[in-house]
């Protein structure tokens, strides 16, 4: 199977090789193979496409949005879609709904990014320490994890926000506090299987300390299963954030947060359906995209879990 010709391989051949020549080469080859599998999954690619689109919209919001999302026009309030250049209509203060949705994508991405960093981070730390050290540390940390798992997530988040006060940062905090335990479980399970493997013994014999073993040799191996879980969880995070916003506990007015926009449109639902409908569609699209991408990633990174 080895290549005998001496010409320089193309990038594609270089990436598809069976005999990587360096660590970097091997890593790139693995990534490319994963990408090829993911690319063949149409649904996952649709999800990825939607998310990239959202990213672009959020990045270029000031240039894309046709109007100022906060500019009120009481004369043109509750205008149906299509009136006066308001493609999606206006809300009860005459603000352009499309512009508010576009700016709202920034808030959604902000929340999702923060939770996606905090929750798996905490979970990874707790899970690997718990799994590697074992004994009492493990017992206590896992009990704590169980306690947080025992709460219904939204209700716990509600109670936290009630105590901390309404606002975006507190909503992020509350969602993260309720979201980390599953990551800790996953990281612990991975650690337990890795802990006794030969290469860890080898590193130990070379004199590596637990801190180094955990951060350099265990963390990298936990990452792929965490990524899958994060992607699948993001839909839930978006829904939770929107739920908090809807109850008036997340982003505060006049901020164009999608959940809060639905809450505002609720009062006019029977007469002006578009005010609540449009932000709901936006939430639905984005969380659907995360679900699609998560399913695809699971097939690539974690084939044993895949359903089909």
Residue ranges that bind other proteins, judged by CB under 8 A: 143-144, 146-148, 150-156, 158-165, 235, 239, 242-243, 246-249, 259, 262, 265-266, 269-270, 273, 276-277, 280, 283-284, 287-288, 290-292, 307-308
Torsion of CA 289, 146, 161, 104, to 10 degrees: -10
CB 228 within 8 A of CB 301: yes
Q: Shortest Cβ distance from residue 263 to other proteins (Å)?
A: 8
Please state, in angstroms and rounded to a whole number, the distance separating the CA atoms of residues 235 and 112.
9
N- to C-terminal Cα distance for the chain?
Answer: 32
Q: Which is nearer to other proteins, 66 or 306 (CB)?
A: 306
Q: Which is nearer to other proteins, 218 or 263 (CB)?
A: 263
CB 90 within 8 A of CB 97: yes
Q: Which is nearer to other proteins, 71 or 269 (CB)?
A: 269
Q: Shortest Cβ distance from residue 248 to other proteins (Å)?
A: 7
Q: Shortest Cβ distance from residue 285 to other proteins (Å)?
A: 8
> Exposed/middle/buried for 67, CB within 10 Å: 0-12, 13-18, 19+?
middle
Q: Shortest Cβ distance from residue 53 to other proteins (Å)?
A: 16
Q: Which is nearer to other proteins, 32 or 148 (CB)?
A: 148
Q: Which residues pair with 90 in a beta bridge?
A: 96
Q: Shortest Cβ distance from residue 68 to other proteins (Å)?
A: 26
Q: Shortest Cβ distance from residue 294 to other proteins (Å)?
A: 10
CB 80 within 8 A of CB 35: no
Q: Which is nearer to other proteins, 15 or 88 (CB)?
A: 88
Please state, in angstroms and rounded to a whole number, the distance separating the CA atoms of residues 216 and 221.
9
Q: Which is nearer to other proteins, 176 or 287 (CB)?
A: 287
Q: Which long-range contacts (CB under 8 A, 24 or more apart) does 233-236 make?
A: 233/119, 233/179, 233/182, 233/294, 234/112, 234/115, 234/116, 234/287, 234/290, 234/294, 235/287, 235/288, 235/290, 235/291, 235/294, 236/153, 236/179, 236/287
Q: Shortest Cβ distance from residue 271 to other proteins (Å)?
A: 9
Q: Which is nearer to other proteins, 57 or 283 (CB)?
A: 283
The residue with tokens 């084939």 is 303
Q: Shortest Cβ distance from residue 270 to other proteins (Å)?
A: 4
Q: Which is nearer to other proteins, 117 or 155 (CB)?
A: 155
Please state, in angstroms and rounded to a whole number, the distance separating the CA atoms of residues 90 and 78.
5
């Amino acid at each position: 199977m080895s290549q005998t010709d001496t010409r320089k391989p193309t990038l594609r051949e270089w990436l598809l090789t069976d005999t990587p020549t360096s660590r970097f080469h091997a890593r790139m080859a693995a990534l490319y193979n994963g990408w090829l599998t993911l690319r063949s999954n149409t649904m996952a690619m649709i999800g990825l496409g939607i998310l990239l689109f959202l990213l672009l919209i959020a990045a270029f919001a000031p240039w894309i949005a046709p109007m100022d999302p906060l500019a009120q026009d009481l004369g043109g309030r509750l205008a149906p879609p299509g009136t006066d250049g308001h493609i999606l209509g206006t809300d009860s203060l005459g603000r352009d709904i499309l512009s508010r949705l576009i700016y709202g994508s920034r808030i959604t991405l902000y929340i999702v990014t923060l939770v996606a960093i905090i929750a798996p981070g905490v979970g990874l730390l707790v899970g690997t320490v718990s799994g590697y050290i074992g004994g009492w540390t493990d017992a206590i940390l896992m009990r704590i994890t169980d306690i947080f798992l025992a709460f219904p997530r939204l209700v716990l988040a509600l109670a936290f926000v009630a105590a901390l006060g309404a606002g975006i940062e507190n909503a992020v905090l509350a969602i993260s506090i309720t979201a980390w335990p599953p990551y800790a479980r996953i990281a612990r399970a991975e650690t337990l299987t890795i802990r006794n493997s030969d290469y860890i013994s080898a590193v130990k014999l070379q004199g590596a300390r637990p801190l180094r073993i955990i951060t350099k040799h265990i963390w990298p191996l936990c990452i792929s299963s965490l990524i899958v879980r994060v992607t699948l969880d993001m839909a839930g995070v978006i829904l939770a954030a929107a739920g908090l916003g809807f109850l008036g506990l997340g982003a505060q007015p006049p901020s164009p947060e999608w959940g809060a926009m639905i809450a505002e449109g609720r009062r006019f639902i029977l007469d002006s359906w578009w005010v609540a409908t449009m932000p709901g569609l936006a939430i639905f699209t984005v969380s659907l995209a995360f679900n699609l991408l998560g399913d695809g990633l699971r097939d690539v990174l974690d084939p044993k879990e895949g359903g089909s």
